[in-house]
Amino acid sequence: MISNTEQLQEYAKCLVDVPYAIRTYLETFDQTQNGYVPFQLFERQIETIESIENNRYTLVSKYRQAGITTTLAAYFAIKTSFHGDPERPEKILILANKQDTAQEFLKKVGEFLNQVPRWVWGQEYVDNPEKSIFVTDSKKNLVLPNKCEIRALATSRDALRGYTPTILIMDEAAHIEDGAETFGAALAAMSTGGKIILNSTPNGMDALYYKVYDRSLLGKNKFHIVQMYWYEDPRYNKGLKWVKKTEEFEEIIEETDFTLMSFADRVRNGFKPTSPWYEEMSMSYNGDTKLIAQELDCSFIGSGGNVIREEDIEYQEKTHVRMPIRTEGVEEECWIWDEPEEGHKYVLSCDVSRGDSEDFSVIGVIDITDMKQVLEWVGKIQPDLLAEIVFNYGTRYNAYTIVDITGGMGVTTVLKLLEMNYKLLHYDDPRSRILSNRKDINKYKTNENKIPGFNVGANRINMIAEFERVVRTGELKIRSSRATSEMKTFVFKNGRPDHMDGFHDDILMVLAMSVWVIQHAFKNLEKFNNSIKAMLNSWTASSPSAPMTQPTEVNLVNPSRMNENGEILQNPQFLPTPSQLSSKDYHEYSWLFGVKK
């Protein structure tokens, strides 16, 4: 039995150093030893505790069997036991996707509370070893002699009614149905104070957990992320190897050979970890890549049925994504990576929204000479005013311009551009009944039955497939972090590629439109005679201060795409500016430039 002075000193030490208290007084069951052992925290578990202590908001991204739920249960036991202010007791609320899960969490807290030295509760508990330390002890609620309380409930919008916690944890937050609504209610209830913890394995790009995670990475909320990986866990990384596969070879490096490179550096350099434990766990999931990504790899992308593979998104992020050289607009709606360059050809695509809805209007410019993003505008504005922005950037880059009119929203933008005598508009087939009935747009119909604008129609799936291909093969260079963020939430829903609920795909649709027109619509130009093709070669951007120079011929597709004989698989195809066509040719090919015959 320690003295009163020693008790006070120990109490104060445990109050300020929770990891010390856990290591000193708590035990946990170790399956490898088939018994209870002192609770030894490893680095990421300690980081989790420190994050909760030092931040109001903490998000833990974990793999299955990380032991983080057990760590948090131990943390709650220490925080409620060694609590220094009886007038302001800790009130902890555990919310989980299922009632059983929440109650199992609470049960672990109770087991750790019973391991805390009885002198913490007072002399009467020391003198009477059989006396329960719980004032209330139920499956849903624990109340301690110091008035601290822990509740466990299934997630619902009413979970916080009548109870304002000092610490709220949403366990397996990515798997909570309608979790975003509960989270919103929690933020309102705890607006004056209290800590919030989101703890989960990933589950695709859900509307709560991933959204909080993504916005934290972008600096748009105050959540501190603790990222846990199995290969950092001393229980599971025995026999750790790092594998890097290419088309030519497979490189395997033993852990002992990696003396100067951090784990993060290895991942950035294309290595993937494996170990006997990881291989055994993967086998237990029957090779299900989605489950492995979710339960072991802490991957939001692989666990969500994404249209674009995780490795392809990561390649773009590591290789091409960068900060713009400058921004324009009051709210920096426009990101610019490259100014117009002499001799280069550009395509501008535009997706139009009402300007007052959840969707954004998007303008994107691609340099088809180098197949890279050079400009991206994202904002909310009325369709007629959007036309002025399209006119501005289209004129600046002398860009062939594609405006989506599929649902009729972009018709106003197109009509405004025609009113402004904009001549670089793409023309397409009406296809839909909505467009066929629009007299205002149909009066500009050409002899080929084409109208100004782009109609996705039945091409949507093929258009997205082509976009996925050029991203996967690296033919298109994505510069925008906003674009790669949308890729991560672009998934198969009932077999159809679409954005997840609460997210957007407007930027991706703009890029996909550009790619589709570049790779397919321009094929019509193969019918042109040699004189027209010669004129097409001079469709380029030029510097305002320099005369137009004759550029070298540029392939619209990846110039490296050749067959076994070294022949380019698709012939170069080009577009002229209206001024470069004779009157006869201009009449014949006016559908390219938005001029009615």
The 10 Å CB-count burial string (b at 16+, else e) for 430-467 is bebeebeebeebeebbbeeebbbbbbbeebbeebbebb
C-alpha closest to that of 236 among 19, 31, 24, 22: 31
Q: Residue 344: CB partners within 8 Å, gap ≥ 6?
A: 367, 368, 369, 370, 540, 541, 551, 554
Looking at residue 116, what is its pLDDT? 95
End-of-domain residue from the set 490, 523, 556: 523
Given a contact cutoff of 8 angstroms between Cβ atoms, the answer to whether 78 and 18 are in contact is: yes
* Any domain includes 356: yes
Looking at residue 107, what is its pLDDT? 96
Q: Which of 181-185, 435-439, 493-497, 573-577 has the highest mean pLDDT?
A: 181-185
Residues 348, 452 within the same domain: yes
Q: How many domains does the chain have?
A: 3
Residues 380, 278 within the same domain: no
Q: What percent of the chain has pLDDT over 70?
A: 79
Looking at residue 573, what is its pLDDT? 32
- Looking up residue 486, the CATH number of its domain turns out to be 3.30.420.240
Distance between the two ends of the chain, CA-based, in angstroms? 100
- 47 or 32, which is more confident? 47
Cα separation, 203 vs 312, whole angstroms: 19
Residues 20, 128 within the same domain: yes
Task: Please check the confidence at residue 473 and state whether its pLDDT lies above 70.
Answer: yes
- 586 or 499, which is more confident? 499
Looking at residue 144, what is its pLDDT? 95
Mean pLDDT of 403-420: 88
Given a contact cutoff of 8 angstroms between Cβ atoms, the answer to whether 106 and 150 are in contact is: yes
Least confident of 108-122, 407-421, 489-503, 518-532: 518-532
Looking at residue 256, what is its pLDDT? 55
Q: Where are the alpha helices (DSSP H) in 310-438?
A: 310-319, 383-397, 411-419, 433-436
The 10 Å CB-count burial string (b at 16+, else e) for 229-258 is bbbbbeebbeebbbeeeeeeeeeeeeeeeb
* Any domain includes 326: yes
End-of-domain residue from the set 171, 186, 219: 219
Least confident of 68-82, 364-378, 381-395, 454-468: 454-468
Residues 387, 433 within the same domain: yes
Residues 489, 347 within the same domain: yes
Cα separation, 350 vs 347, whole angstroms: 10
- Tell me the CA distances in angstroms from 150 to 74, 275, 348, one per residue in order: 13, 38, 57
DSSP state of 372: E
Structure confidence by residue, pLDDT tens digits, 37-46: 889 999 999 9
Task: Please check the confidence at residue 548 and state whether its pLDDT lies above 60.
Answer: no
Given a contact cutoff of 8 angstroms between Cβ atoms, the answer to whether 201 and 294 are in contact is: yes
* Any domain includes 313: no
Cα separation, 164 vs 11, whole angstroms: 27
- Tell me the CA distances in angstroms from 93 to 105, 194, 221, 379, one per residue in order: 11, 11, 22, 39
3-state secondary structure at position 534: helix
Q: What percent of the chain has pLDDT over 90?
A: 41
Residues 324, 301 within the same domain: no
pLDDT band at 565 (very low <50, low <70, confident <90, very high): very low
Cα torsion for 318, 486, 271, 476, to the nearest 10°? -50
End-of-domain residue from the set 523, 541, 556: 523
- Mapping DSSP onto H, E and C, the string for 11-72 reads HHHHHHCHHHHHHHHCEEEECCCCEEEECCCCHHHHHHHHHHHHCCEEEEECCCCCCHHHHH
Residues 64, 106 within the same domain: yes
* Any domain includes 335: yes
Task: Please check the confidence at residue 582 and state whether its pLDDT lies above 50.
Answer: no
Looking at residue 590, what is its pLDDT? 39
- 325 or 435, which is more confident? 325
Least confident of 483-487, 496-500, 511-515: 496-500
* Any domain includes 591: no
Looking at residue 539, what is its pLDDT? 53
Look at strands 91-96 and 167-171 and give their pairing: parallel
> What's the mean per-residue pLDDT of the chain?
80
Where in the sequence is the domain holding 271, given as residue range(s)?
Answer: 241-305
Cα separation, 519 vs 463, whole angstroms: 10
- Cα Rg, the chain, nearest whole Å: 30
What is the greatest pairwise CA distance in the chain? 107
Task: Please check the confidence at residue 148 and state whether its pLDDT lies above 80.
Answer: yes
Residues 270, 125 within the same domain: no
Cα separation, 44 vs 58, whole angstroms: 13
- Looking up residue 14, the CATH number of its domain turns out to be 3.40.50.300
C-alpha closest to that of 493 among 311, 313, 307, 358: 307
For residue 334, the surrounding DSSP H or E stretch is: strand 334-336
Sheet holding 346-351, edge to edge: 326-328, 334-336, 372-379, 361-367, 346-351, 400-403
Both tokens assigned to 67? 């032991």
What DSSP string describes 180-241? Answer: HHHHHHHHHHTTTS-EEEEEE---SS-TTHHHHHHHHHTT-S-PEEEE--GGG-TTT-TT-E
The 10 Å CB-count burial string (b at 16+, else e) for 328-367 is eeeeebbbbbbebbebbbbbbbbbbbebeeebbbbbbbbb
Given a contact cutoff of 8 angstroms between Cβ atoms, the answer to whether 197 and 52 are in contact is: yes
Looking at residue 561, what is its pLDDT? 31
Taken as a whole, the chain contains a residue count of: 597
* Any domain includes 130: yes
- 555 or 200, which is more confident? 200
Task: Please check the confidence at residue 26 and state whether its pLDDT lies above 50.
Answer: yes
pLDDT band at 320 (very low <50, low <70, confident <90, very high): very high
Q: Where are the alpha helices (DSSP H) in 254-306?
A: 263-268, 276-284, 289-295
Residues 215, 344 within the same domain: no
Cα separation, 554 vs 437, whole angstroms: 40
C-alpha closest to that of 376 among 385, 386, 389, 363: 363
Residues 269, 394 within the same domain: no
Mean pLDDT of 493-506: 79
Phi, psi of 433 (to 5 degrees): -65, -35
Looking at residue 1, what is its pLDDT? 66
Structure confidence by residue, pLDDT tens digits, 336-393: 999 999 989 999 999 998 766 667 899 999 999 999 999 999 999 999 999 999 999 9
Residues 247, 372 within the same domain: no
Task: Please check the confidence at residue 335 and state whether its pLDDT lies above 90.
Answer: yes
Task: Please check the confidence at residue 267 and state whether its pLDDT lies above 60.
Answer: yes
Looking at residue 457, what is its pLDDT? 72
* Any domain includes 564: no
Given a contact cutoff of 8 angstroms between Cβ atoms, the answer to whether 402 and 362 are in contact is: no
Cα separation, 126 vs 510, whole angstroms: 71
Structure confidence by residue, pLDDT tens digits, 47-56: 999 999 999 9
* Any domain includes 551: no
Both tokens assigned to 523? 């094929």
* 94 bridge partner residues: 152, 169
Residues 144, 11 within the same domain: yes
Structure confidence by residue, pLDDT tens digits, 220-264: 899 999 999 999 898 898 888 888 766 555 667 665 555 556 777
| Identity at 486, one-letter amino acid code | E
